[in-house]
Amino acid sequence: MVTIILLVSRNYYLQKVFYNLDRLYCDPAETNLLCYVDGDLRLYQETRDFVTASKFHQKLCVYRKKGTPSVGSVRRRRQRIADIHNELKENIKDADFLFLIEDDTIFPTSTLETLLLNMSNYPYAGIISGVEIGRWGYTMIGAWQADDVYEPQRIVSVANGSGIQKVDATGLYCCIVRKSVYMDHNFAPLDDVLGPDVNFGLNLRRKGLDNYINYDIKCIHLTQKEPITVEGSQIVRVEIKKINDKWMQSRLN
């Protein structure tokens, strides 16, 4: 059993995202849908209508009654994301795997089937993600390698590749996660430098589990401008380095 978790905080792309979900290869009787809406009441009502019309047998749309998200600082936004992942756990019922997606990501129709197959082939995997370029507004892949998973001093984003590769952390934008490890983790940002997804990945590595990115699952990050696509992109690599107890960010190319 799989539960799809869709986080919604804007209505720009709802129609595209639910159209994408409707075309997803899966057995609807064995696939649940949980939408967690972080926004105003109108956004919740609009999302609920899409959820009701979706093909999945068990489906739930939950309204996060915390007020409309504000822009705030990057740190506050990351903490809000962590809070959301911690809060929504109480709504997750029977499932072996969680398919986490966000409301600005379009993925291939075979993504869930492929990720489930990957999980069966990699029994020590805690998380396996597709690849999406453009999360920070340029051609960067949201997956990371650390010099030390226990006390990292240097964390670097990965380059483009092919097939399935091990990483130390990856994004939660389009991934499959074992329910047990997701439920056991207390989500929090990684210091003041990276989000709760990186903290989650490093924590899995400390527990002896592996993280993977599947470069063959190419996702599109939607924006209100022209999206940055995966194909033909020059990949920017980002380095986050700790110097005198402060994290410094720079580009490697």
pTM of the full structure: 0.93
Dihedral, CA atoms, 156, 159, 163, 166, nearest 10 degrees?
Answer: -10
What top-level class would CATH report for the domain 2-251? Answer: alpha beta
pLDDT in tens, 166-187: 999 999 999 999 999 999 999 9
pLDDT in tens, 41-96: 999 999 999 999 999 989 999 999 775 555 567 778 888 999 999 999 999 988 99
Residues 121, 64 contacting (CB under 8 angstroms) = no
CA–CA separation, 24 and 62 (whole Å): 22
CA–CA separation, 231 and 205 (whole Å): 30
CA–CA separation, 63 and 84 (whole Å): 11
Q: Is 191 left (phi over 0), alpha (psi -120 to 50) or beta?
A: left
- By DSSP bridging, strand 169-170 and strand 143-146 are antiparallel
pLDDT of 235 reads 82
Q: Where are the domains of the chain?
A: 2-251
